[in-house]
A and B are shown apart, each in its own frame.
Chain A
């Protein structure tokens, strides 16, 4: 097999420059960069929203905003963070790194890739536009139901709900297209000799994520479409008076919503062992065990959804089934934790910023997992349901487990992507500020939840005041310290110490065989894996 005559392929292309380059690009690195920048922007947008919420919660009583606006902020914060920050960040990494790690010249379906990205900005605008429209007296603001769209509240809501429904449709189409692209790339574009069980772990994480997205996003799309027809076309899917059932919505939503958690986390679980092995300077422990755990978690994730609404009034056998199946997920997850720790065990570790984030991530995500186990207990859940305990729990999984994981990936691959080393001291400062202020923000919320403070309520009883004040101050520090992150990324992109091809002493994988930054077209001749 000869690929020799494709080597001169590059020169025939005329790349458009300026904005047209980015609008029309089908290059996986360009698209990956756009995904990551979009994600970073939306991370700041979603962060600003929740900081406004935290400032309102600084003291009991209403100071800054009306309750309805408060409700809009919390719902759009979640939708923005999940669909416009965390998912695009993972897709950005998939675009940048999958072809490099698999030894492929590009993603399999480049034009679909371009389309997948350019659907995101309109969706983000749809999601946030109602805030602006309300300023001009059109409608009553954004979706105020929380991100879960629960009927019948969402059936009664204003135009913000319609905007959010269409935004979710568009975001869903974008994710499904991205998933198809990832699956085809992984199945068809691997370097000769790279069997599925020799694939980098990141590819495995994304493969399962992609299948979960294809299986569950249509269910969400169907649920919000039914909501739309309930709102405007006289159907009664979720209206008891017309023979429908509001509980049906919760089932449909969480049939998507629970796998979504693993959709957000699996890509991180994929690249995290790669970071750990790089800085522990020894091979990943338990590759096969991790792959099988991924499959186990992927499959279990679609059969446990009802643990999100234990208190809705389910028969006891259903409660018991959902409790035990949920707890069963902790078995493969514990295998993963064991493998991560064993990868570091007796390694010659150094703690550059990516490794700091990785180790911090294991501990904090561990807390998220363990508190999840508490919530999975039906008897305990009756006490914790819809309190700040839940809020703290899912921020340990999604901020620590998701976003801090993504940050580890950013610091790990940034020298590869830009060709420059970032500022190590600033990176470490960013980690410590983030980790400490994150804990100070959310540990008080565990206690608030235990004491019975309900989530999604803009005011609270006096006895919760001290914990809320601590949480708000820490949240502001957490928000501000992300400016360091942005500064570090921007200055790294603009210049700095030249990065070597391998960047890290212990790095292993095809992406590190290319120059930093990699050429615009890489692996036009596929490497052969022995």
Chain B
């Protein structure tokens, strides 16, 4: 009898430890889910992965008249979007702190109303946090009528704090077909 109780005792202990380990599994699941916002926060704070801020920046008064920085623009259209899309200038020289405007031209090649979303990326990644956009067509999704051509402005300046070693920054835009049911620029979940 005493021995049977012992077996039951052990089974009880096993069940308890098993349940405790289940909490550990729960913790891992929670960790997995939290990795998504953590990743975003990490990339935004460090400016890694070429993620630029998606809101308008304020301008600064100081202009560094002793320095030129070359800004290059590249554009691409992702599969699934039949647009022509390119910047009107391939590159410009700017004074850090001075506000510049560059026009991008998009043309809808189809006979339907099509919406697109531009996704920016900055290279080198370390320059990411110094490129300040005041106005950008990438802040909202763009809708083009059949055959419509649209000139879309990008107003920006380069922060005077830009490290000395950076002499050129490449700003690249990829136009995606705007996704179904999506509010632009935000995740549907979490």
Query: Residues on A close to B: CB < 8 A?
Result: 1-6, 108-109, 112, 176, 179-181, 183-184, 187-189, 214-219, 221-223, 226, 229, 233-237, 239-245, 247-248, 251-252, 255, 313-315, 318
**Of the residues A1, A3, A243, contact of B187 by C-beta under 8 Å:** A243
Q: Are B188 and A242 within 8 A (Cβ)?
A: yes
Complex CA distance for A183 and B182, rounded to whole angstroms:
44
14 more CB-based (< 8 A) A-B contacts, given A233-B188, A242-B182 = A6-B4, A183-B21, A184-B17, A188-B17, A215-B28, A216-B28, A237-B36, A241-B176, A242-B188, A245-B40, A245-B43, A251-B39, A313-B50, A315-B125
**B49 an interface residue at 8 Å Cβ cutoff?**
yes
B70 within 8 A of A: no
Residues of A near B180 (CB, < 8 A) are 234
Tell yes or no: B179 within 8 A of A by CB. yes
Are B17 and A236 touching (Cβ within 8 A)? Answer: no
Chain A proximity of B80: nearest CB distance (Å): 9
Bound complex: CA A226 to CA B36 (Å)? 10
Alpha-carbon distance between A217 and B21 when the two chains are bound, in angstroms: 14
Q: A234-B181, A236-B179, A242-B179 are in contact. Are A222 and B3 (CB under 8 A)?
A: no
Shortest distance from the beta carbon of B83 to any chain A beta carbon, whole Å? 13
In the complex, whether B68 has a CB less than 8 A from a CB of chain A is: no
Q: How far is the CB of A102 from chain B (nearest CB, A)?
A: 13
Nearest chain A residue, comparing its CB with the CB of B174:
A240
Whether B18 pairs with A184 at a CB distance below 8 angstroms is yes
User: Which chain A positions have C-beta within 8 A of B90?
Assistant: none
Q: Is the Cβ of A218 less than 8 Å from the Cβ of B35? A: no
Closest A-B pairs by Cβ, 8 of them: A241-B176, A222-B32, A218-B28, A108-B14, A219-B32, A218-B29, A5-B3, A234-B181
Q: How long is the Cα–Cα vector from A214 to B179 in the complex, in angstroms?
A: 35
* Interface check B63, CB cutoff 8 A: no
Point out the residue from B10, B18, B31, B48 that lies within 8 Å of A180, measured CB to CB.
B18
B21 touches A180 (CB 8 A): yes
- Other-chain residue from B21, B31, B35 in contact with A184 (beta carbon distance below 8 A): B21
Across the interface, which residues of B come within 8 angstroms of A5, CB to CB? 1-4
**In the complex, what residue of chain B is closest to A217 when comparing beta carbons?**
B28
A218 touches B119 (CB 8 A): no
**A6–B3 CB distance below 8 A:** yes
24 A-B interface contacts by CB (under 8 A): A1-B6, A5-B3, A108-B14, A108-B18, A112-B18, A176-B25, A179-B21, A183-B17, A184-B21, A189-B14, A215-B28, A219-B28, A222-B32, A233-B188, A235-B189, A237-B187, A241-B178, A242-B117, A242-B179, A242-B187, A242-B188, A245-B49, A248-B39, A315-B48
Chain B contacts for A241, CB-based, 8 A: 78, 117, 119, 176-179, 182
- 1/0 per residue, CB under 8 A from A, across B45-72: the answer is 0101111000000000000000000000
Determine whether the beta carbon of A222 is less than 8 Å from that of B33: yes
Closest to A112 in B: B18
Q: Is B75 on the interface with A (CB-CB < 8 A)?
A: no
Most chain A CB within a 10 A radius of its CB, from B25, B48, B125: B25
Q: B33: which A residues are within 8 A, CB to CB?
A: 222
| Cβ B32 vs Cβ A221 within 8 A | yes
Question: Which A residues are in CB contact (< 8 Å) with B22?
Answer: 180
* Docked-complex contact A255 and B35, CB < 8 angstroms: yes
Identify A3's interface contact among B3, B13, B177, B178, CB under 8 A: B3
| Most chain B Cβ neighbours within 10 Å, of A3, A4, A214, A222 | A222
Given the known inter-chain contacts A184-B18, A240-B174, please indicate yes or no for A234 contacting B39, CB distance below 8 A.
Answer: no
Give the shortest distance, in Å, between B3 (CB) and chain A (any CB). Answer: 4
CB distance from A209 to the nearest CB of B (A): 14
Residues of B within 8 A of A242 (CB): 117, 179, 182, 185-188
Residues of B within 8 A of A236 (CB): 179, 182, 187-188
Most buried by B among A3, A217, A219, A243: A243
Q: Which of chain B's residues have a CB closer than 8 A to the CB of A183?
A: 17, 21
Q: How far is the CB of A221 from chain B (nearest CB, A)?
A: 7
- Roughly how many angstroms separate A210 CA and B22 CA in the complex, as a whole number? 13
A6 touches B7 (CB 8 A): yes
- The CA-CA distance from A106 to B51 in the complex, in Å, is 54
Residues on the B chain within 8 Å of A314, using CB: 48
Chain B min CB distance to A95 (Å) = 16
Question: From B47, which residue of chain A is reached at the shortest CB distance?
Answer: A315
B186 and A214 contact, CB distance less than 8 A: no
B15's nearest neighbour on chain A, judged by CB, is A109
When the two chains form their complex, are residues B176 and A240 in contact, meaning their CB atoms are under 8 A apart?
yes
Expressed in whole angstroms, the minimum distance between the Cβ of B45 and any Cβ of chain A is 13
From residue B60, how far is it (CB to closest CB) to chain A in Å?
26
B36 with A4: CB separation less than 8 A: no
Give CA–CA (A214, B23) in the complex, Å. 10
B151 interface hit (Cβ, 8 Å): no
A318 CB contacts on chain B under 8 angstroms: 48
The CA of A169 and the CA of B49, in the complex, are separated in Å by: 30
Residue B92 at the chain A interface, CB threshold 8 Å: no
Find chain B residues with CB under 8 A from A187 CB: 17
Chain A residues whose CB sits within 8 angstroms of the CB of B179 once the complex forms: 234, 236, 239, 241-242
B91 at the interface (CB under 8 A from A): no
* Chain A residues whose C-beta falls within 8 Å of the C-beta of B185 in the assembled complex: 242-243
Residue of A nearest to B21 (CB): A180
Q: A183 to B188: give the CA distance in the assembly, Å.
A: 38
Query: Is B41 on the interface with A (CB-CB < 8 A)?
Result: no
Chain A residue at minimum C-beta to C-beta distance from B35: A252
B126 at the A/B interface (Cβ < 8 Å)?
yes
Smallest CB-CB separation from B79: which chain A residue?
A156
The CA of A380 and the CA of B126, in the complex, are separated in Å by 24
A221 lies within 8 A of B29 (CB): yes
The answer on a CB contact under 8 Å between B125 and A214 is no
Alpha-carbon gap, A252 to B15, bound state (A) = 31
Q: Which residues of B contact A313 (CB under 8 A)?
A: 49-50, 125
Closest CB of chain B to A168's CB: distance in Å? 13
Give the shortest distance, in Å, between A26 (CB) and chain B (any CB).
12
Quick one: which of A108, A179, A218, A237 has the most chain B CB within 10 A?
Answer: A218
